[in-house]
Amino acid sequence: MGDLKLCCLGLSHKTAPVEIREKYAFKGDEIENALLQMNSISSVEECIILSTCNRVEIYFTSRASNPFKEIYEFLIERKSATVEEINQFFYKKEQKEAIKHGFYVASSLDSMVVGEPQIVGQFKDAFQTAKELGTIGTVMCRFCETALKVSKRVRTETGISKNAVSISFAAVELAKKIFGNFSGKKVAIIGAGEMAELAVKHLLSNGVSEVFVVNRTFERAVKLAEEFGGKPFPLTELNTVLQAVDIVISSTGAPGYVLTPENVVPVFEKRKNSPMFFIDIAVPRDIDPALNEVEGLYVYDIDDLNEVVKANIEERLRAAEIAKRIIEEYVDRFIKWLKELEVAPLIAELKEKAETIRKTEIEKRLSKLNLTAQQTQEVENLTRVIINKLLHQPITSVRKKAAEEERNQVVQIFREIFGLGKE
């Protein structure tokens, strides 16, 4: 029997186009069926499947000399895979590389957007499914628990998820810097567009109290307003809306400026110069940048937001470098634990042998000593303490050596010294 290996066979957005990721994805009940089928493979001891829109990864433990052979066969049978396709799009990782990769994935360092939070929930779901089906045991449970622990520490200590990396989130972050919080704040969306709509959704989820939708086509305004639970207005009532709101997101198809100092400043003065935040997502721009020259008016266009996103991505990449050092620390600990685990049966065997000898000798002697119950208990305790102290050093050493050197050689020497049976 070979050494236990923790392996990963997978593909991701880095190695495979979307049509290949779709082909190999496991969804819904398919994951459960696949896990149970894979767990019945003779060379697989434990297994878990992580399947998201950006990756399909199979983590498993095996003692086979070629641990991937039967997983290939599983994919060929279940997903109509070809060996050429697997070789082209899948990566194979063993032991340290597999463990490190899993920790990177759970910490979002391998995600399309570094620092994105969804992967943590997806990793937890995969772990829970495998646990409920009983396809994982001591090693994979420890692996998943450690991966999630690493992920939490990375997010807490590096702030890798802190800065926005989408235009819509960046707009919300900028608004937060101006208003602090959105309690009681109102937002107007002028025109329509995916990014503008996303920004409004993010603002609502962050506490904005009311949404006004302004559109040249009133029916469109009504439809959008229903989506956000807001109020619709035709473009002719824009000035009325401006007096009521604190944040304006504009994304029209107008050929020129929709908001200029001429129509905004009078409204601003009626608001007693209460700050207003304008997000211009339109190209060509909807909002005259001259508004920025008025104290209390803040205008950001698509280039400004892109600069914020770019800076935040760079910040996340710097955080990722710190995260890698944290992960290395946990990888080394896990490898050490895995090696020590391999000598656990040997240690149990030694303890059992020592206990058998102790009991045999005690039974021989106690019957001749005519001791009281209390004295008998003292002798029992004394002999157990002696056994524990005698075994402490060799057990500590074999655990240490198993983590540092070739396990098989260490086990063989240990068995010879203590007269234990062969593996």
Spatial CA neighbour of 50 closest among 31, 69, 77, 72: 31
Q: Write the DSSP assignment of 223-286 as a string of letters.
A: HHHHHHT-EEEEGGGHHHHHHH-SEEEEE---SS-SB-HHHHHHHHHHTTT--EEEEE--SS-S
Spatial CA neighbour of 129 closest among 119, 118, 144, 117: 144
- Residue 4, CA distances (Å) to 347, 402, 422 in order: 17, 13, 18
Q: What are phi and psi of 227, to 5 degrees?
A: -65, -40
Radius of gyration of the chain (CA): 32
Q: At 305, which amino acid appears?
A: L
| Mean pLDDT across 238-260 | 91
Each residue's pLDDT tens digit, 289-343: 999 999 999 999 988 888 888 888 888 899 999 999 999 999 999 998 998 888 8
User: Which residues are CB-neighbours of 167 under 8 A, at least 6 positions away?
Assistant: 195, 198, 199, 281, 302, 305, 306, 309
pLDDT over threshold 90, residue 60: yes
Which of the two residues, 24 and 167, has the higher pLDDT score? 24
Classify domain 5-163 at the CATH topology level. Beta Polymerase; domain 2 (3.30.460)
Locate the domains of the chain by residue range: 5-163, 167-300, 338-418
The CATH number given to 167-300 is: 3.40.50.720
The total number of residues shown for the chain amounts to: 423
Annotated binding-site members for NADP(+):
191-196
Each residue's pLDDT tens digit, 129-153: 999 999 999 999 999 999 999 999 9
Mean pLDDT for all residues in the chain: 89
pLDDT over threshold 90, residue 397: no
Helix 344-369 to helix 302-342 angle (10° resolution) is: 40
| Confidence at residue 237, expressed as pLDDT on a 0 to 100 scale | 93
| Mean pLDDT across 153-174 | 84
Strands 91-94 and 5-12: antiparallel
Separation CA 96–CA 101 (nearest Å): 8
Separation CA 341–CA 95 (nearest Å): 14
Is-contact 210 186, C-beta < 8 A?
yes
Catalytic residue among 7, 53, 141, 144: 53
Helix/strand/coil for 103: helix
Annotated binding-site members for substrate:
52-55, 111, 116-118, 122
Q: What are phi and psi of 19, to 5 degrees?
A: -65, -30
Catalytic annotation on 47?
A: no
Separation CA 358–CA 384 (nearest Å): 8
Annotated binding-site members:
52-55, 111, 116-118, 122, 191-196
Least confident of 14-28, 36-50, 169-183, 371-385: 169-183
Is-contact 197 172, C-beta < 8 A?
no
Each residue's pLDDT tens digit, 36-50: 999 999 999 999 999
Beta-carbon count within 10 A of 312 CB: 19
